[in-house]
Each structure stands twice: as structure tokens, then as C-alpha cells.
Amino acid sequence: MQHSERHGFREIATKIRQEIVEGRYPTGSVLPAEPELADRYGASRSLVNRAMQVLAAEGIVRPRQGRGTMVTWLPPMLHSPARYDRMTRENQGARGAFDAEVRSRGLEPQHEITTEHAEPPVAVAEMLGVSTGEENCLVRRRRLLASGIPIRLNASWFPLDIAGGTVLEEEGPVIVGGVKSALGELGYPQVSAREQIVPSRLPTDAEANALEISPERTVVEITHVGMTAEGRAVEVTISVAPAHYLTAQYEFPLA
């Protein structure tokens, strides 16, 4: 069948992007096959394929072998101090801030969790105030997904004398309110936190594979340190997320 090539690939990408944002193709759904899209837009399959490449580069869609092209668009999640509020983290039995955020968007949160006793990196050891060169921490690693779309990688480090043999070692999303609620139940409630954000860097190969993004897509790295009223750091969580899934917002007093 001959096509009139009425639409250029950028125009096709714009139309599909708009339909995705408007909900015609919901997040987590599979787009029609390229021949169907070509017929819809009166274009050749090669132009549709180029449009798909544009959208994939933007992180809006993701081709998956044998499964078609999945819609991976999400409005950026707002990263602000409010996400750590206990009522937010535990809302309707949520397993932490991420769980609550994803459910609020009508998507299904999924957690892939592993735990181990480990020697912390030097920077983490310094933040926790523990010795270097020793297996003195519990690390809880999580790949967090929304309706099958990888959104974030978390590695949470805790002093082993606090976390060893506790619910924090469970390899599943069993902690209502997340690790902060668990630490509070263990007698180490956090009253303050500090964060350092690396706003844009390229992912490592392992991060790109786990997040299912191209190595050219930038990521945001957040280092979060939670402290008790006595000033003891009891949690260091390092999060990595595709930059297009995150918007940071902070509010603070001015003298």
C-alpha cells in the first residue's frame, strides 16, 4: 500500500505524545503495532519507526522484545519533604513514600527487594558513623516499579547493631510506612534528615539495565540521611531515578 507521507515523523511523534498524555494510551499499555499506526497517520512504517525512536529517546515509550512498545510516560513525581510525612507514607497501608505516590496515580507499585550484611562504602560509613573495612551494616536494595515500569533504584544502609535480625531484613514489601516507620518501631524514630541531590549524570551500565533506559538517558541521584533526636544517623538511602520521572521541590524559611 502506498502512503502519501502527509505527516513527518516529528509530527507523528507529537500526535502520539499528545494521545499518551491525554490518556488514550494509558501508562503501562502497549501501543498499536507500527503497521496500524502507519495506516492511521497515512505514513510509511519507516516514518512511524522514526517517531517511535524519538518518543523512546524522551522516555515516553519503551520497546520490549516480543511484547511491543510499552507506554512508559509518567508525570514527574514531586520529590519534597512532604513525601516523608508519616501519614503520607502509611496512607491506606502504603509501604512507604514511593508506594503511596504510585497508588495515588492509579498505578500498581511493585517492589523487588534484597537484603544482605555488607561492608559500607567509605562515604556511607562516614555518614553513619561506623567503621570502614568491616561488615557492620545491613543494606536493603530495592528496584521500585509502577505497573511494570522501573522508576527508582534504592539502596538503604543501616548500622547492623540496629537493623540486624529485624523486619528490615525481610526481602519483601512488608513494612507499612517503609523503613522510617520500621526504625521508629525499633526505637530509633527520625526527627530530621538531610539530602544531597546530583541533578544530572549518566547511568552506569548496571543502572541503565535495571531501569531499562538507554545509557544516554540522564539520571538523578539522591543521598538521604535520616537522624534521631540525639543526632545519630540511622539511615542512609541512595536513590537513582531517570531524570524525567522526578521534580524536586523544597520550601524553607528566609531570614
Mean pLDDT computed over 159-177: 92
Q: Does 229 have pLDDT greater than 60?
A: yes
Mean pLDDT computed over 155-162: 97
Q: Class of the 77-248 domain? A: alpha beta
Predicted local confidence at residue 2, as pLDDT: 45
Least confident of 4-8, 167-171, 178-182, 246-250: 4-8
Residue spans of the domains in the chain: they are: 9-71, 77-248
- Distance CA(233)–CA(137), nearest Å, equals 13
Predicted local confidence at residue 253, as pLDDT: 84
**63 within 8 A of 104, measured Cβ to Cβ:** no
Mean pLDDT computed over 130-140: 96
Q: Does 77 have pLDDT greater than 80?
A: yes
Over residues 93-116, the pLDDT tens digits come to 888 888 988 888 888 999 999 999
Mean pLDDT of the chain: 91
- Are 9-71 and 77-248 equal in CATH topology? no
Q: Does 4 have pLDDT greater than 80?
A: no
Predicted local confidence at residue 30, as pLDDT: 92
Other C-beta atoms closer than 10 Å to the C-beta of 19 total: 13
For residue 207, give the 3-state DSSP assignment. helix
Mean pLDDT computed over 123-152: 95
* Kind plus residue range of the DSSP H or E element containing 220: strand 219-227
Least confident of 2-6, 70-74, 118-122, 191-195: 2-6
For residue 140, give the 3-state DSSP assignment. strand
User: Does the predicted model carry a pTM greater than 0.95?
Assistant: no
Q: What is the CATH number of domain 9-71?
A: 1.10.10.10
Q: List Cβ<8 Å contacts ≥24 apart for 6-10.
A: 6/41, 6/42, 6/43, 7/41, 7/42, 7/43, 7/47, 8/47, 9/43, 9/47, 9/48, 9/50, 9/51, 9/54, 10/51, 10/54
Predicted local confidence at residue 111, as pLDDT: 93
Q: Does 27 have pLDDT greater than 90?
A: no
Predicted local confidence at residue 7, as pLDDT: 60
Per the structure block, which three cell numbers stand in for 254? 528566609
At position 202, the amino acid (one-letter code) is L
Predicted local confidence at residue 6, as pLDDT: 55
Predicted local confidence at residue 216, as pLDDT: 87
Mean pLDDT computed over 220-226: 97
3-state DSSP: the chain helix, strand, coil percent, rounded to 5?
A: 35, 30, 35
**239 within 8 A of 211, measured Cβ to Cβ:** no
- Distance CA(201)–CA(52), nearest Å, equals 24
Predicted local confidence at residue 1, as pLDDT: 42
- Distance CA(247)–CA(80), nearest Å, equals 9
